[in-house]
Amino acid sequence: MNDMASDMASDMASISAEIPQYDLLVVGAGPAGLAAATRAAGLGLVTALIDEQPAPGGQIYRAVGSTPVQDRNILGADYWHGLELLEPFARSGARYLSSATVWSINRREPQAGGQPAGFEVAYSVSKGGEEPQASLLHCRHIILATGAQERPFPIPGWTLPGVITAGAGQILLKTSGVVPEGRTVLAGGGPLLYLLAYQYLNAGVKLDAILETTASSQWLQALPHAWSFLRSPYLGKGLTLMRAVRNAVPIVSGVTALEALAGANGQLAEVRYTAGGQSRSMAVDQLLLHQGVVPNTNLSRAVGAEHAWNDLQDCWEPVVDAWGATSVPQLSIAGDGAGIAGAMAAEHRGRIAAVHVAAALGRIDTAARDREAAPHQAALARATRGREFLEVLYRPATQFRRPVGDTIVCRCEEATAEQVRHAARIGCQGPNQMKAFLRCGMGPCQGRFCGLTVTELIADEQQRHPRDVGYYRLRFPTKPVTLGEIATLPQTPASREAVVRFKK
């Protein structure tokens, strides 16, 4: 080796020596991630928990350690349960990386000395006022616990200022005690919508209406699942909540069409809807939309895990086994990111995944793993009982998953439903060619708010099943990262040769 090459080799060795090494990296500090990291550390794994928010809790327990809404009746006992996850985590000895966004996961070459290969993870840390910094870490196993996001709800005008998601409303309430005033309408369906309404009522917020888009026919469809629901933990809470909400807020059921309209200032001024064959209009200041949540699959797709279409929930899910293991060796997924099942189920799945990893890394044997996991598996079964009923009942109606006309489908690039449909009609074979034609999926959200809709529209126009249509091919970076940050990461002689090719 000449001097330059051996210098670079020792540079690389010293950079490698400085990169933190973990047995397990858990991505996401919601219930699944907190429970997984706590259990893993408890079993002796060198564990790090990384999360993009400044404080743990994910979205469901957002700000549970710092919320100004200290009257516990407002947010409710289910929310405050989140505190019970924070303290054990803080004591667990796991490393906590906050305000840190994972944007790349790559397999490492097998190391000398027979060590398993594992992963190199790149992430960005953004602390107030400073330039973001890219960092690397190495780990032998990963548990993704990145949870869920709001399902896209593409109605005409959904991009207007004044329209936010119900989840956004909840976050404003939890993190800052900020609530809507003026004329406020909630629209859509799903347990979270009613939960938010309930929390608002407890906080003294006046709601003008809830526009329910749940088709009445869904009740019949859901009926076969009713027995499990009746025996589930959801029944009691659900009934109390619904009764309170229905008593206090005007409900319009069977809404089949919904539109948000702008006023003179270009912001939301009016909501128009159709129910019972009649069209009506309401002047509004805020519209909060919600039609369920879907798994956040950007990281799991970019890392190459196999995904399947969930026909009951009309969304993609990573394929996982009972331990949370995916088709990617040493990579597991726990919580809503593996399939929507709620906060309690997420906790149990997090612990099950952690126990599996401990066995995979040889920390405990399989008998111990099975013993450890048993109570969590039983709890998981109890926590998921009755969910099918809710899933079928609140399955969004077709017209709200498959918009038409000028309705914006890709918020970032402003591609409309008709543009997507037209491209599908002239033979566009799938979401990736659609992306190439219309730029949908190329914006900073990386398809999070348009991907499902694009898949469904192609399916609609071409009479194909969404599972055959497929989804965007995603690659790292899974969140935007500055050029300057990428430039600070280690290069190699091979990478330089591949890029700078001038030779005398």
Partner 1 sequence: MFRRLDAPVVQAAGRTVRVIVDGVALECREGDSVAAALFAAGVQACRDTAVSGAARGPFCMMGVCYDCLVRIDGRPNQQACMTPVRDGMTVQRQLGAREVAV
Partner 2 sequence: MGNASTPSQHPTFDVAVVGGGLVGSAVAYGLRGSVSSIAVLDEGDVALRASRGNFGLVWLQSKGYGMGAYSRWTLGSVRLWPQLAAKLLAETGIDVALEQKGGLTPLMGDYEIEARLAWVNKLMSQPGVEPYEWKLLDHHQAASLVPGLGPDVTGAIWTPHDGIVNPLKLLRAFHVAFSQSDVRYLPHHGVTAITQLSDGDFVLDTPKGSVRARKIVLAAGLRNGELGRMVGTHLPMAPQRGQILVLERTRRLLDTPMVTLRQNDEGSWLVGDSQEDAGYADHVTTLPILATLADRAVRTLPALREVRAVRAWSALRVRAQDGFPVYEQSASHPGAFLVTCHSGVTLAATHAMTLAPMIAAGALAPELDTFSTRRFHVQKT
Cα–Cα nearest to 478, from 255, 225, 297, 321 = 297
Residues 6+ apart with CB under 8 A from 235: 229, 386
Q: Give min distance, CB of 305 to partner 2, in A.
A: 12
Nearer to partner 1, 177 or 233 (CB): 177
Single out the segment in contact with partner 1 by CB under 8 A; choices: 34-42, 82-90, 163-171, 322-330: 163-171
| Among partner 1, partner 2, none, residue 168 binds (CB under 5-8 Å by kind) | partner 1
| Among partner 1, partner 2, none, residue 296 binds (CB under 5-8 Å by kind) | partner 1
Question: Applying CB under 8 A, which of residues 154, 156, 167, 350 lies at the interface with partner 1?
Answer: 167
Cα–Cα distances (Å) from 132 to 126, 127, 222, 486, 497, in that order, read 5, 7, 48, 11, 28
- Pair 108, 117: CB distance under 8 Å: yes
Q: Could you identify the residue written with the tokens 């399947």?
A: 308
- Total interface residues for partner 1 by CB under 8 A: 53
115-134 residues in contact with partner 2 (CB under 8 A) are 120, 122, 131
Nearer to partner 1, 52 or 461 (CB): 52
Kindly state the helix (H) or strand (E) to which residue 107 belongs, with its residue range: strand 100-107
How big is the CA angle at 13 (ends 7 and 15), to the nearest 5 degrees?
Answer: 100
436-455 residues in contact with partner 1 (CB under 8 A) are 443-445, 448-449
CA-to-CA distance for 225 and 223, rounded, in angstroms?
A: 5
Nearer to partner 2, 174 or 421 (CB): 421
- Pair 328, 303: CB distance under 8 Å: yes
The dihedrals phi and psi of 33, each to the nearest 5 degrees, come to -70, -45
| Overall residue count recorded for the chain in this entry | 504
Q: Give min distance, CB of 427 to partner 2, in A.
A: 5
- Total interface residues for partner 2 by CB under 8 A: 51
CB burial class (10 A; 0-12, 13-18, 19+) of residue 21?
Answer: middle
Q: How do strand 251-252 and strand 209-212 relate by DSSP bridges? A: parallel
122-151 residues in contact with partner 1 (CB under 8 A) are 126, 128-129, 149-150
Residue 405 binds partner 1 (CB under 8 A)? no
Question: Applying CB under 8 A, which of residues 339, 443, 451, 466 lies at the interface with partner 2?
Answer: 443
Residue 482 binds partner 2 (CB under 8 A)? yes
Q: What interhelical angle do 191-202 and 233-248 show, nearest 10?
A: 60
Cα–Cα distances (Å) from 306 to 318, 326, 473, in that order, read 6, 7, 12
| Among partner 2, partner 1, none, residue 448 binds (CB under 5-8 Å by kind) | partner 1
Nearer to partner 2, 224 or 484 (CB): 484
Question: Applying CB under 8 A, which of residues 16, 285, 422, 476 lies at the interface with partner 1?
Answer: 285
Interacting residues with partner 1 (CB under 8 A) = 52-54, 59, 63, 66, 68-71, 74, 126, 128-129, 149-150, 159-165, 167-168, 171-173, 175-182, 203-204, 266-268, 285-286, 296, 411-414, 443-445, 448-449
Binding site for partner 2 (CB under 8 A): 104, 106, 120, 122, 131, 136, 304, 423, 426-433, 436-437, 439, 442-444, 446, 469-470, 473, 475-477, 480-484, 486-492, 494-496, 498-504
